[in-house]
Amino acid sequence: MTRVGFPSASDASAVLPARSRPVAEADLANIPWLGRLDEVERARVRADMRVVQVEPGELLCRVGRPVTYWFGVIDGLLKMSNDTALGMPITFTGVPPGGWFGEGTVLKMEPYRYNIQALRRSVVAGITAGTFHWLLDRSIGFNRFVMMQLNERLGQFIAAREIDRLTDPDQRVARSLAALFHPLLYPGVGEMLRITQQELAYLVGLSRQRVNEALQALQMAEVIRIEYGGLRVLDLERLRRYGAQG
């Protein structure tokens, strides 16, 4: 969990519903849990789901606001962070395509304890909290997906605490990058992640120049390849263990 400054946030959460549109067939193909539902459940999700484009710097969720939707990223990149008493946000994780987040908050129906901000123009889908709980009451497949999400998210946050203690910048970049290639939490990423060095710097808490040096080292070690518009992972297990002893 990295302390780092970000571009100033614009709170658009109040007007996002008015900008949203119904879900399209192309959007549905990028929703990993939809195949676990039966026909009745899928029909309710289609009728309920809304999709919105979020501009860079806009907040989708803000600390203290009541929860209304369960969200997932169709395209783009978000960051999850929290405000501190000193006014410096603490970054918990990035959320790339395929990632659904906030299920714990929706389960407890409590106010958000974190901010969700777009790092770039992003397309985000959401179902209402009412439909989320209806699916929990009805669908075994959906329950299993949510349980998997909670379990994997716990492991992710434990790993984030470990990353926060790392003093080697190359290791910090490697471990943070590996977290964005999580195949269960972010199935939409695959082997290629669209991300700029500046966006990665925001998530890791280092300068863009230092992130560039770390990426060059990772590429020389043949665990990633820097490509136009993003990064390709060549060996995910080595990326996760990069710099570890033994």
pLDDT digits (tens, 9 = 90+) for 122-166: 999 999 999 999 999 999 999 999 999 999 888 777 766 666 666
22 and 76 part of one domain = yes
Tokens matching residue 203: 């998530």
How many percent of the chain have pLDDT more than 70? 85
Tokens matching residue 189: 């990423």
- Reported as a pLDDT band with limits 50, 70 and 90, residue 2 is very low
144 and 174 part of one domain = no
pLDDT value of residue 160: 66
Q: Which of residues 156, 176, 207 is at a domain's end?
A: 156
HSE (CB half, 13 Å, CA atoms) of 161? 5
Can you give the pTM of this predicted structure? 0.85
33 and 99 part of one domain = yes
200 falls within a domain: yes
Cα–Cα distance measured from residue 96 to residue 241, given in angstroms and rounded to the nearest whole number: 21
55 and 126 part of one domain = yes
For the ranges 51-60, 70-79, 154-163, which has the lowest average pLDDT?
154-163
- For range 42-49, the mean pLDDT: 96
HSE (CB half, 13 Å, CA atoms) of 136? 15
pLDDT of 70 higher than 70: yes
57 and 80 part of one domain = yes
pLDDT of 246 higher than 50: no
Nearest to 43 by CA among 148, 139, 122, 107: 139
Q: How many domains does the chain have?
A: 2
- Reported as a pLDDT band with limits 50, 70 and 90, residue 5 is very low
How much is the mean pLDDT over the chain?
87
184 and 116 part of one domain = no
76 and 190 part of one domain = no
- For range 52-59, the mean pLDDT: 92
pLDDT value of residue 82: 82
Beta bridge partners of 54: 122
Q: Which of residues 133, 156, 179 is at a domain's end?
A: 156
112 falls within a domain: yes
Cα–Cα distance measured from residue 10 to residue 194, given in angstroms and rounded to the nearest whole number: 23
pLDDT value of residue 139: 97
For the ranges 7-16, 65-74, 94-103, 168-177, which has the lowest average pLDDT?
7-16
pLDDT value of residue 135: 98
8 and 65 part of one domain = yes
Domain interval for residue 55: 2-156
pLDDT of 1 higher than 90: no
162 falls within a domain: no
pLDDT value of residue 6: 44
Torsion from C-alpha of 146, 148, 151, 152, nearest 10 degrees: -110
- For range 227-243, the mean pLDDT: 90
pLDDT value of residue 84: 57
- For range 16-43, the mean pLDDT: 92
